[in-house]
Structure 1
């Protein structure tokens, strides 16, 4: 099934660390038997409200193919990463 994953990272991360987290996300998807179709960096944006003490976040968007029974496991793994301040996974991300 297709999913769109959006993550919000702490805005003060070094570019190297952001790139490492992107690799970790892709590896987690692969370990769960899924596939990353597309990765986009959406840059740093101001938040409507503070999340974990941050008024801004750096966003990344991933289009995935993943078994529905593995989505909860992926969310759990990503939420344990302290540099990720928010995780959103929605169905039907497509491959546009």
Structure 2
């Protein structure tokens, strides 16, 4: 099992319920194909660095998960098929990235407790 991190941007013309439906869909793709979600974050509506498909904002989502390499291919195929996703990036985490992610999650949870 490898550790992966994926970030995807959803088009801003959707309602909050539709945006959450898109996020749930891709989390379901991960779990249905033998992956386990380690962490998920919704970064909300943010400005894009440059216009994509004449849009200047998008809803950002981060999902950290573990799984086999074939899961990434399946996930990215689903991203390409869904017209609501305007950009995505998935990469394999090395041991240093996994360690950093754990520290970042611990730091965020400490801030939320305060």
User: What TM-score comes out, normalization by structure 2 length?
Assistant: 0.77
Q: Which has the higher contact order (CA 8 A, sep 6+)?
A: 1
Q: Which residue in 1 is equivalent to 2:8?
A: 7
- Which structure would you say has the larger Rg? 2
- Structure 1 counterpart of 2:62: 61
**Which structure has the highest strand share of the two?**
1
Residue ranges of structure 2 left out of the alignment (5+ in a row): 103-114
Which structure features the higher share of helix residues? 2
Aligned pairs, how many?
A: 96
Secondary structure at 1:25 match in 2: helix
C-alpha RMSD of the superposition: 1.3
Partner SS for 1:20:
helix
Instruction: For 1:1-96, list aligned pairs within 5 A.
Output: 1-92=2-93, 94=98, 96=102
Query: Displacement of 1:62 after TM fit?
Result: 0.3
Q: Which runs of 5+ in 1 are unaligned?
A: none
